[in-house]
Chains A and B, each alone.
Chain A
Amino acid sequence: MEAVLSQEKHAHAGGHAHGESFIRHYIFSTDHKMIAKQFMFTAIFFLFIGGAFALFIRWQLAYPGQPIPLIGQLLPSTWVNAQGAVTAEWYTQLLTMHGTIMIFAVIIPLLVGTFGNFAIPLMIGADDMAFPFLNMVSFWLFPLAGVIMMSGFLMEGGSAAAGWTGYPPLSAIASTGQTLWIVALFLIGFSSILGGVNYITTILNMRAPGMKMFDMPMTVWAVFITAIIITIGTPVLAAALSMLFMDNFLSTSFFVPAHLTVATRDMSRTAGGGQPLLWQHLFWFYSHPAVYIMILPGMGVVSDVLSTFSRKPLYGYKAMVYAIIAIAFLGIIVWGHHMFQSGMNPLLGTTFMVSTMVIAVPSAIKTFNWLGTMWRGKMEFTTPMLNAVAFVSMFVIGGLSGIFMASTPVDVFIHDTYFIVGHIHYVLFGGSLFAIFAGLHYWFPKMSGRMYDERLGKLHFWITFISFNATFFPMHILGIGGMMRRIYDPTVYDFLKPFQPMNEFITISAIVLGFAQFILVYNLAHSWFYGKKAKRNPWRANTLEWQAPSPPPHGNFDTELRVYRGPYEYSSPESVQDYLPQTVSPEELLAQRQRHEERLAQQEHAQPVA
C-alpha cells in the first residue's frame, strides 16, 4: 500500500495540471489551493464594496444631509437625493448590506474559506480535501449568493433594510430586496455547511502518517472546531431563514403577531399568531456562534504566527486547544445575551449572563498563553508578526468591552448603542481582520511562490493600525454618551449634539482606514507577479505546508511525509537550527547533529592554523 501510494504521489507531484483546460484549472477547479484563491479574490472584492458602504454611512453620520463628495451626484436618484446626499432609505439599506457583506461575504470566506481551504490539506499533509467536488460547489454558491444579495439594490424598494440581524416583523413585511437577502443567506449557509463537512472529514481522515490530533497546528484545530460550530449552528439559521422566507413571500405568520398595523403592505392574508422573539432566538443561536466562527480561525492563525516569529514553542498548546473547544461549546449556549432587552423572560437574562461571563475565561487563557509564547522569545517583527501582535492587543480591548454587555444591568444602557458597534468592530476588524492580514502575508509566499514587499506590508500595517483605533475607539465613547446605532441623523437628538465633532473625527479616520487598504491590494497584486521568488520555507517554520514547493503543485507534496512531533518545536535544544520541522525523523536529527559537531570540530581544528 505504501509503495502504491508513493508511486502515485510522484506521478502527481511534478504535473501542475494534466493538460487541464483553462476552465477546469482556473474557474471550476477542484484544487483546494485554487479554491482558496478564488475565495480570497472574491472576498477582497466584497471587502471593498462593504468598505465603500461603510464610508457612505460614516459620511452621513459626520455631515448629515450633506452631499457625498465627488460621486454624490453620479449615484441613482433612488439612493441619493437631488443634492447627492444619502437618503434615509438608502442609509438603512447600506447599514444592512455593510453588516451582511462584511460578515458573510468577507470575514467568513477569508478565514474559513481561504485559510481553511489553503491551510488544512497543506498543514496536515494531504493532497487535497476529502471532497474536492463539494469544495468547488461550496465556493461557487458564494459568488452566486453575493450576486443575488447585491441585486436587491436594483429592485423596487431597494435591498434588504432590516439590519444584518433582520428582525421580523420589519423583515417579514419588507420588499423584494429582503427576500433576495434571505435566499442569498440560505445559499451562503449551505455553502458553509458543505465546507464544514469537508473540513471535518478531511481533518479526521487525511492527516499525514504519524500525525495525532494533538500534533496539529492551531490553525487546523481552530478551523476544525469552527467547522463543528458551522455544522451545528448554520442549519438552525437555515431553518429560521426558511420560515422568514415563508413569512415574507407567502404571508405566513411564524414571526408575525396578529393585528399589525402596516401601511406598506397588505396584511389581510396574514393570520397572525407568530412570535417575533422566536426569530431572535433561532437567529442568535447561529449568529452568536458565528462570532466565534469569525474569531477562532483568526486565533489559530495568530497562534501559529506568534510562535513562528517568536522562535518559541506555543505556550500551553493543549490548554490553547481546550480553550478553543470551551469557547466553541460555551459560544453555542450563550446566544441569549443579545436579547437581554428584547422582552424575553428576565430569568433567562440571568442564566445567559452567567454563561456569558464564563466565556471570558477561555478567552483570558488564550491571551495569557499568547503572552507566555512571547516571553523570552526572540521576536522578529515581520508584517505577519506585526498584524498578529496587533490582533492580540485589539482582541483584548474587544474582549474587555464585551464584559460591559455581558453584565445585564449595564447592557440596559449600552445595548443598541455605538458601544456595541465599537465592540463588534474591535472583535471583527481588530480581531478577525488583523488575523486575516497576518495570514495573508504569512502564507503569501506559499500561495503565490513570491515574497510580498515587506516595506509596503509594514506601511499598510501601521496606517491601518492607527486609523483603525482612531475610527473605532471613539465609538465606545459615543455609546457611553447614548448614541443609538443605525440612526440616520444623530443631530435630531439634543443629547447627541455634543458628539458631532467626534463623529467627524471618526469619519475622517475611517476614510484613511478605507484608503489604506489599497496599499494591501497593491502590495499583494504587484508581488504576485513581480515579487522576489520565495524559498520553500522562508519563515523557517515547522509545519508541514513549508515542506511543499512554493507554490505547491497539484498534489501538494513532492516528498513522502511522516510526522514525528508537534508543530511548535522552535529553538529546540535537540536541533541544530532554531527550528525543528514536524517531518524530521529522529535518525535524521541525529545525523544532522553529528554533521554539525563534525563541522564545529573542523572549525576548531582549523582555527589555530588561521
Chain B
Amino acid sequence: MASGMSFQEIQKSYFKVFIALLILTALTVAVTTIHFGDVANIVIGVVIALAKAGLVAYIFMHLKFDNKRLRYFVGIPIFFFVTLVMTLTVLGL
C-alpha cells in the first residue's frame, strides 16, 4: 500500500471506522425519532449520512492513502449531482 502505514495501523483504522459507523447509525436513528422540524430533521439526517459516507470513502475506499487524482472521480460527479438536484428543487417548489 502506498500509504506508508503498517498493516496493523490500517487494520486498526478499519476497526475504528467500523465502530464510528455503527455509532453514527445509532445516532441518526436516535436523533430522528425526536422531531426538530421538517428541515432540521432533513439536515441532521443528511449531515450524518455525509459523515458516514466520508468515512467509508476516505478509509475503506482508500481515498486517504491513494493517488490524490482519484478524488476527481468523486468531485466531478458530485458537482453535477448538486447542479441537477438544485435545479430539480427549484422545479419542485
**Do A232 and B91 touch (CB < 8 A)?**
no
Q: In whole angstroms, how far apart are the Cα atoms of A236 and B87 in the complex? A: 14
Shortest Cβ gap from A333 to chain B (Å): 6
Out of B76, B84, B91, name the residue touching A236 (CB < 8 Å). Answer: B84
Bound-state CA distance A275–B87 (Å) is 14
Q: With contacts defined as CB atoms under 8 Å apart, how many contacts are there between chain A and chain B in the complex? A: 27
Query: Interface 1/0s, chain A 224-263, versus B by CB < 8 A?
Result: 0000100010001000000000000000000000000000
Complex CA distance for A332 and B87, rounded to whole angstroms: 12
Decide: A277 near B84, CB < 8 A? Known: A232-B76, A232-B77. Answer: no
Q: Which residues of A contact B88 (CB under 8 A)?
A: 278, 281
The smallest beta-carbon distance between B74 and chain A, in angstroms, is 12
Q: B83 to A278, Cβ gap below 8 A?
A: no
Q: Is A285 an interface residue (CB 8 A)?
A: yes
Q: How far in angstroms is the closest Cβ of chain A from B89? A: 11
Report A-chain residues with C-beta under 8 Å of the C-beta of B76: 228, 232
- Classify chain B: how many residues form its interface, as a range: 10 to 19
> Does chain A have a CB within 8 A of B7?
no
Contact A333 to B83, CB < 8 A, known contacts A232-B76, A232-B77: yes
Query: A264 interface residue, CB < 8 Å from B?
Result: no
Residues of B within 8 A of A285 (CB): 84
Chain B: minimal CB distance from A358 (Å)? 15
A225 CB, nearest partner CB in chain B, Å = 12
Alpha-carbon separation in the docked complex, A236 to B84 (Å): 10
**Chain B residue at minimal CB-CB distance from A236:** B84
Q: Kindly list chain B residues whose C-beta atoms are within 8 Å of the C-beta of A232.
A: 76-77, 80
Q: Chain B nearest CB: distance from A485 CB in Å? A: 25
* Interface contact B91-A344, CB-CB below 8 Å: yes
- Taken together as a complex, chains A and B put the C-alpha atoms of A130 and B5 apart, in Å, by 30
CA distance in complex: A277, B77 (Å): 23
Contact between chains at B80 and A278 (CB < 8 Å)? no
Q: Which residue of A lies closest to B69 (CB)?
A: A204
A232 to B90, alpha carbons, bound, how many Å? Answer: 21
A345 and B76 CA atoms in complex are apart in Å by 27
- Please state if B77 and A348 are interface contacts (CB–CB under 8 Å): no
Which A residues are within 8 Å of any B CB, using their own CB? 228, 232, 236, 275, 277-278, 281, 285, 332-333, 336, 344-345, 347-348
Which residues does B use to contact A, with CB under 8 Å?
A: 76-77, 80, 83-84, 87-88, 90-92
25 A-B pairs with C-beta separation under 8 A: A228-B76, A232-B76, A232-B77, A236-B84, A275-B91, A275-B92, A277-B91, A278-B88, A278-B91, A281-B84, A281-B87, A281-B91, A285-B84, A332-B80, A332-B83, A333-B80, A333-B83, A336-B87, A344-B91, A345-B90, A345-B91, A347-B90, A348-B87, A348-B90, A348-B91
- For the A-B complex with A275-B91, A275-B92, A344-B91 known, give 10 more contacts whose Cβ atoms are closer than 8 Å: A232-B77, A277-B91, A278-B88, A281-B84, A281-B87, A332-B80, A333-B83, A345-B90, A345-B91, A348-B87
